[in-house]
């Protein structure tokens, strides 16, 4: 199936590894992601934007662009996905907001096409994983970390259990990994406080890493570039701050899907990770 | 508060902007209990709701609730009265910015600096340039050496280069339109 693809800013800079894994997996599965040529930043978080009309106008620019092609929009960043989908739902619910936003961006909005996260796309597109998996992720204990924006509010990913989402866990289990039960899968990592007040991230992400480690995880799986930055790039700062050692590699979910689908690990830009995932993958005989 | 000759409470102003009725809140405190950022706030979410109900305008607008909020959506999600608390918090922030009310607590002073740099970054580039975001933040917040130890590894792993500057200027146009509209 064909989708309009919205990569978002992070996938073009700090998370090129995520972008590459999405590309490799969608190519392998015959999912066509056509990048929108004229996309603009979604605003990332409503907290960064001084007023609501602007926080709606930014994603609306991309929704209007995608309207031209009548294909559903796919985002792989949890924040982009949330901003696009929340805006889409709000404009559908309040006609006067839609008119105000249309005036502001100077474009009409149909609010008809859907917004999906790449995780949902994998779920919908692949019915029978068993027949396409080349190498099961046997014995790999993963902590699936959803963060905030993939599951909140209720109508984000179609999972049905926002307090205890299962979609990523189900995917990991289909790939042959063991997804552990742990209490921090939807707690916030501290978002952009990494810049404006770093102690917040060191504290909140520290709790997440500690809980994953304590629950027996060998790695964490994420679906958001900022969660990845906080848990991977800042892991050594977090270790120092909390006086603990974690050494937990953090994967994007399509990276593990790619390995299971038999895609060569050298195509995956895993060397961009800060916590080196290679020793774990070698130990589990996955590369 | 008298605006355009008509007295208007903060609750009414929020209702006009969002259609949210803050009097639906019965102060159960679930929003604050679930908020991982509440320890940063002088006024946790349920107390901000109460200040609005009581029309304690200055106290609400000078709180740091909206600077401590990470927009994780837990408050709105768990509200048994289905009030979009996050939207209320953001609306109070918008009003505080419009009326230039200063925070009475200084502990989160770098957050508005970050937000302003973020906005300027996307106005100039149409997308976020993460390197410029970090560098400008350090300059403006006078934290010149913050995260400097991460720089070599970010450079080596090619995490600093960004998408080419877009040719369109849509975001700039929108922001200019809002300014003319008595917006930001």
Option in B94, B137, B175 nearest A195 (CB): B137
In this predicted structure, the answer to whether residue B113 has a pLDDT above a threshold of 60 is yes
How many angstroms separate the CA atoms of A74 and A21, rounded? 15
pLDDT at A212: 98
Query: Considering chain A, what percentage of its residues have pLDDT values greater than 70?
Result: 100
- Summarize pLDDT for B49-95 with one digit per residue, the tens: 999 999 999 999 999 999 999 999 999 999 999 999 999 999 999 99
CATH superfamily of B2-98: Alpha-helical ferredoxin (1.10.1060.10)
Which has the minimum average pLDDT: A145-154, A255-264, B30-39, B157-166? B157-166
Site of tokens 């961006």: A105
pLDDT at B2: 55
A89 interfacial to chain B (CB closer than 8 Å)? no
With beta carbons under 8 A apart, name residues in chain B contacting A12: 127, 162-163
How many angstroms separate the CA atoms of B174 and B153, rounded? 36
Top-confidence residue, A48 or A73: A73
What is the CB neighbour count within 10 angstroms for residue B161? 14
Using the beta-carbon criterion (under 8 Å), do A53 and B131 form an inter-chain contact? no
Domains of chain A: 2-119 (1.20.1050.140), 129-283 (3.40.50.11810)
Structure pTM? 0.94
Rounded to the nearest integer, the mean pLDDT of chain A is 95
pLDDT at B166: 74
- Mean pLDDT value of segment B22-29: 98
In this predicted structure, the answer to whether residue B3 has a pLDDT above a threshold of 90 is no
Using the beta-carbon criterion (under 8 Å), do B161 and A13 form an inter-chain contact? yes
DSSP string, B6-17: EE--HHHHHHHH
CA A63-A64-A68 angle, to 5 degrees, is 110
Nearest CA in chain A to B163: A12
Going by pLDDT thresholds of 50, 70 and 90, the confidence category of residue B149 is confident
DSSP string, A83-128: HHHHHHHHHHH-HHHHHHHHHHHTS-----S-EEEHHHHHHHH-S-
Using the beta-carbon criterion (under 8 Å), do B162 and A13 form an inter-chain contact? yes
In this predicted structure, the answer to whether residue B104 has a pLDDT above a threshold of 50 is yes
**Taking a contact as any Cβ pair under 8 Å apart, which residues of chain A between 206 and 235 contact chain B?**
233
A10 interfacial to chain B (CB closer than 8 Å)? yes
Going by pLDDT thresholds of 50, 70 and 90, the confidence category of residue A154 is confident
Top-confidence residue, A91 or B149: A91
In this predicted structure, the answer to whether residue A208 has a pLDDT above a threshold of 70 is yes
Option in A14, A104, A274 nearest B174 (CB): A104
Total residues found in chain B within this entry: 184
Site of tokens 């209990």: B33
HSE of A158 in the Cβ direction (CA atoms, 13 Å)? 9
With beta carbons under 8 A apart, name residues in chain A contacting B115: 47-50
Query: Considering chain A, what percentage of its residues have pLDDT values greater than 90?
Result: 93
Q: How far apart, in Å, do the first and last CA atoms of chain B sit?
A: 21
With beta carbons under 8 A apart, name residues in chain B contacting A39: 127
Beta bridge partners of B85: none
The residue ranges of DSSP E strands in chain B, in sequence order, are 2-3, 6-7
How many angstroms separate the CA atoms of A48 and A80, rounded? 13
* Selection from B85, B86, B92 nearest residue B25 by Cα: B85
Residue ranges per domain, chain B?
Answer: 2-98, 110-180
Beta bridge partners of A179: A142
- Mean pLDDT value of segment B140-161: 88
């Amino acid at each position: 199936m064909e989708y309009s693809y919205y990569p978002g800013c992070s996938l073009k800079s700090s998370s090129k590894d995520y972008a590459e894994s999405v590309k490799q997996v969608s190519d392998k599965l015959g999912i066509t992601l056509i990048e929108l040529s004229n996309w603009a930043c979604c605003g990332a978080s409503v907290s960064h934007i001084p007023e609501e009309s602007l926080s709606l106008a930014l994603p609306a620019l991309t929704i209007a662009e995608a309207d031209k092609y009548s294909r559903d929009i796919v985002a792989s960043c949890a924040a982009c996905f949330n901003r696009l989908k929340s805006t889409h739902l709000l404009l559908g619910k309040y006609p006067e907001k839609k008119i105000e936003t249309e005036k502001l961006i100077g474009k009409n909005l149909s609010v008809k096409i859907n917004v999906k996260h790449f995780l949902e796309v994998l779920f919908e597109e692949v019915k029978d994983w068993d027949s396409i998996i080349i190498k099961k992720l046997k014995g790999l204990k993963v902590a699936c970390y959803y963060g905030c924006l993939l599951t909140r509010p209720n109508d984000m990913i179609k999972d049905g259990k926002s307090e205890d989402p299962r979609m990523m866990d189900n995917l990991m289990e289909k790939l042959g990994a063991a997804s552990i039960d742990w209490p921090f899968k939807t707690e916030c990592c501290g978002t952009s406080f990494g810049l404006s007040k770093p102690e917040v991230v060191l504290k909140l992400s520290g709790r997440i890493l500690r809980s994953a480690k304590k629950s027996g995880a060998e790695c964490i799986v994420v679906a958001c570039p900022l969660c990845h930055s906080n848990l991977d790039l800042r892991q050594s700062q977090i270790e120092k701050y909390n006086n603990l050692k974690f050494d937990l590699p953090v994967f994007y979910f399509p990276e593990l899907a790619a390995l299971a689908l038999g895609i060569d690990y050298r195509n995956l830009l895993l060397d961009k990770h800060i916590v080196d995932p290679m020793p774990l993958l070698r130990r589990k005989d996955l590369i | 508060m008298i605006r355009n000759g008509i007295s208007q409470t903060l609750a009414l102003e929020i209702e006009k902007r969002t259609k949210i009725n803050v009097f639906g809140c019965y102060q159960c405190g679930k929003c604050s209990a679930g908020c991982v950022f509440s320890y940063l706030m002088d006024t946790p979410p349920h107390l901000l709701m109460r200040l609005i109900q009581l029309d304690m305008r200055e106290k609400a607008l000078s709180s740091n609730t909206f600077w401590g909020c990470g927009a994780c959506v837990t408050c709105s999600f768990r509200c048994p009265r289905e009030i979009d608390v996050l939207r209320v918090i953001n609306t109070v922030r918008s009003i505080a910015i419009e009326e230039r009310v200063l925070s009475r607590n200084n502990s989160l002073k770098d957050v508005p600096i970050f937000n302003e740099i973020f906005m300027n970054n996307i106005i100039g580039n149409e997308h976020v340039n993460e390197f410029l975001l970090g560098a400008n933040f350090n300059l403006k917040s006078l934290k010149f050496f913050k995260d400097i130890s991460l720089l070599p590894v970010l450079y080596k792993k090619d995490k600093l280069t960004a998408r080419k500057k877009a040719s369109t200027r849509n975001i700039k146009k929108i922001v200019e339109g809002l300014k003319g509209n008595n917006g930001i």
